[in-house]
Amino acid sequence: MFADAQTRTVTGKVSTQDNQPIQGASVRVKGKSIGTTSGADGSFTLNVPPGAATLVISYVGYDAVERTVDANSSDVSVSLTQNKTQLGEVVVTALGITRQAKTLVYATQTVKPSELTEVRDPNNVINSLQGKVANAVINQGSGGPPVEQG
């Protein structure tokens, strides 16, 4: 049947409660490996299977929202609520594997979240690490995002 291979396009916008767009929010179809991220203006476009689908919209520091889109809907606007809980300690190894610091057999270094928010450029986490992490050399590339070398 051809109906199984068909998809439909859903567009939308992700914003904060005070109507500020959220760039980089994750938008995915629940239970499927279909997803995208929101653009600079908070907008997104996603091809979803026919029929009703549940979208899961999430962003770091905000509560995730599930929104059901029925077969006749093609536009979704979502407002995310800021999560007031503190993030716990997370250690990410060179291979991207999350571990607890006490289980590692090598030296680690801690940067507190408050140290990352007390910088001149709060929108750039990489620049926030400058001078706070041993052996981290942070260079600004030509027109691209900063690159950490070390």
Number of other residues whose CB lies within 10 A of the CB of residue 133: 15
Query: Which domains does the chain carry?
Result: 3-80 (2.60.40.1120), 91-149 (no CATH)
Number of other residues whose CB lies within 10 A of the CB of residue 48: 20
Phi/psi for 125 (5° steps) reads -65, -35
What is the predicted pLDDT for the residue at 105? 62
What is the predicted pLDDT for the residue at 74? 84
What is the reported pTM? 0.55
Q: Which residues of the chain have pLDDT under 70?
A: 1-5, 85-107, 113-130, 138-150
